[in-house]
């Protein structure tokens, strides 16, 4: 099963914080505009959000590309097109960054 499929399945059933952590390499970093978020911080953030039974960030996600080295998927939320780009290490999330573009702007961009 691909990393994308494992990620989607994690939120389709009862969220399991241990399984979420297992999908991430121990050196995981989420790259934000002004900071780096390590694995412990990322787990804390998602575990908090997952307390909401309606939380399913990948419900409408579309896989753009996945191979042994990288994963790209995209979805729409709150009037934005959200793109997640991940570099993988040992088949796990290793480095991740997210781009959010207003949907109106995204429609004018060439793919």
Q: Residue 42's domain is classified under what CATH number? A: 3.10.450.50
Residue 111 lies in a domain: no
Number of domains into which the chain is organized: 1
Other beta carbons within 10 angstroms of residue 82's beta carbon come to 18
pLDDT tens-digit profile of 18-29?
999 999 999 999
Q: In whole angstroms, what is the distance from residue 41 CA to residue 9 CA? A: 22
* Domain span at 73: 3-106
Which residues touch 6 (CB under 8 Å, ≥6 apart)?
Answer: 23
pLDDT tens-digit profile of 8-61?
999 888 899 999 999 999 999 999 988 999 999 999 999 999 998 888 888 889
Instruction: Give the predicted TM-score (pTM) of the model.
Output: 0.89
| Residues making up the chain, counted from first to last | 111
Residue 14 lies in a domain: yes
């Amino acid at each position: 099963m691909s990393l994308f499929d494992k990620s989607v399945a994690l939120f389709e059933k009862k969220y399991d914080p241990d399984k979420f952590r297992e999908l991430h390499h121990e050196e995981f970093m989420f790259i934000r505009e002004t900071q780096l978020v390590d694995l412990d911080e990322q787990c804390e953030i998602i575990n908090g959000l997952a307390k909401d039974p309606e939380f399913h960030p990948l419900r409408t996600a579309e896989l753009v590309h996945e191979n042994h080295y990288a994963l790209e998927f995209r979805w729409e939320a709150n009037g934005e097109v959200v793109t997640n780009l991940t570099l993988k290490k040992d088949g796990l999330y290793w480095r991740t960054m997210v781009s959010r573009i207003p949907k109106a702007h995204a429609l004018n961009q060439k793919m």
